Copies of this chain bind each other. A is one copy, B any other.
Amino acid sequence: MSKGLDYDTLNENVKKTAYAVRGELYLRASELQKQGKKIIFTNVGNPHALGQKPLTFPRQVVALCQAPFLLDDPNVGLLFPEDAIARAKYYLSITSGGLGAYSDSRGLPAIRQEVADFIERRDGYPSNPEHIFLTDGASKGVMQILNAIIRNKNDGILVPVPQYPLYSAAITLLGGSLIPYYLEETSNWGLDIDDLHQSVVQAKMKGITVRAMVIINPGNPTGQCLSASNINQLLKFCFHENLVLLADEVYQQNIYQNSRPFISAKKMLLDMHAPINTGMQLVSFHTVSKGYWGECGQRGGYFEMTNIPSQTVDEIYKISSISLSPNVPAQIFMGLMVNPLKPGDISYQKFVTECNAILESLKRRAHIMTDGFNSCRNVVCNFTEGAMYSFPQIKLPPRAIEAAKKAGKIADVFYCLKLLEATGISTVPGSGFGQKEGVFHLRTTILPPEEDMPEIMASFKKFNNEFMQQYDGTGSSGYSRM
């Protein structure tokens, strides 16, 4: 007889769930690393793992909060600047017993107020701290909200394709239905509202009620910044279809061009007229893991709920309470991120210099990478307008697709595995994010150190050339092109 944790008796939704970012490619890369091969992990947006240094000031503040006894040490000023000491004292004063005490399950009230103030400055509209919940990273918030929405497989969630697979994974795990809508590669990964309508109509024909829509702006894996008119259109669409909009805006600091700045869904919504601005339900997500912070390992995030009834907010609060509280150190990072140093503060100049250096370098790397991909045979790539990823299309020759099939692999998995074995570059195949039938991509982060970038792109180009040579029918094998 089977036991409770035997594979055959497990929750089917657990088994069905796929998560490509740490899937077959990642596991193979980890294996090769164990064998001594040098691996360049570009499979996940993890800046510090690729050498990005943490910003000094926030780390000073959190270190002092972890070691509050230092604040009584006469030598503390030798290692910490005055403004970090003051800020640490402030944060300790708003906890209920330092970093070792559980906070309220929604996070510390004073930090939720700092978040609300930040949103108000950013958007020009008031924000209610009672509708802001701090979370252990944005992913946890997304899962909490989807868990509240999804009842069964007849509840559909509109998700962009390609998408960051958190969404497909969470929807499968929660037993809902993912309703795909396609981003248009030829219009720089913009949304097509007609296509959205089509997706909803098709879902309805299958008996599925579409209840929410996900946008990722700036895009992951696609790197686009949505235009104001695009956001405007999709807000109207959500309102008319009674959808909750889940706006994943974790890359809002990562912008590498000026023509399409980041605009929050919240601001666009409140710019609109009644009944849309007061009626459309919106949940927006943010994090300390991205931007020029990249504090992934700390696990800090928040979500803000707009036009969500208070009875629902109470339910979400109740469910948060089961895990008692988000980790407190990351709540402090969130406070520091949304309420940074100001001109005149002792550490201001250093802080700004560090932030700018990171952002400027990311911008240059976005260019190096896009240009590098576009110089390769059978590869085309939109510019990374924002976020941390490059998502080139790889035009795989039919013989490569054939060879993949023989090897029992999806064609882009086959390509990415060969890339990994040849160069140590660990990417994620486009199929992990979804893509149109017969079209293939890979995702790489733009995070490798700037000085290594030329070599990485040269190594990619060499591999790609040989791969295309081998499978494109013009090589020495003598087979004619199919």
User: A residues bordering B, Cβ < 8 Å?
Assistant: 1-7, 9-12, 14-15, 17-19, 21-22, 44, 46-52, 54, 56, 59-60, 62-64, 66-70, 73, 75-76, 78-79, 95-103, 105, 136-137, 139-140, 143, 145, 147-151, 166, 169-170, 173, 211-212, 242-244, 281, 283, 293-299, 305, 308-309, 311-312, 315-316, 318-319, 321-330
- Find chain B residues with CB under 8 A from A322 CB: 17, 19, 139, 143, 166, 169-170, 173
- Find chain B residues with CB under 8 A from A136 CB: 136, 299, 323, 327
- Find chain B residues with CB under 8 A from A329 CB: 66, 297-298, 327, 329
Q: How many copies does the complex hold?
A: 2
- Find chain B residues with CB under 8 A from A62 CB: 66-67
- Find chain B residues with CB under 8 A from A324 CB: 22, 44, 137, 139, 296
Contact of A242 with B7 at beta-carbon distance under 8 Å, contacts A59-B66, A170-B322 already known: no
Given contacts A11-B149, A327-B330, 7 further A-B contacts (CB under 8 A): A4-B212, A17-B318, A22-B318, A66-B66, A75-B79, A139-B324, A173-B322
CB–CB B97/A5 < 8 A: no
Contact of A21 with B321 at beta-carbon distance under 8 Å, contacts A3-B242, A281-B4 already known: yes
The smallest C-beta distance from A67 to any residue of chain B, in angstroms, reads 4
- Find chain B residues with CB under 8 A from A97 CB: 46, 48-52, 297
The smallest C-beta distance from A287 to any residue of chain B, in angstroms, reads 11
CB–CB B101/A46 < 8 A: yes
Determine which of B7, B75, B140 lies in contact with A78 in the assembled complex, contact meaning CB atoms within 8 Å.
B75
Determine which of B66, B309, B327 lies in contact with A299 in the assembled complex, contact meaning CB atoms within 8 Å.
B327
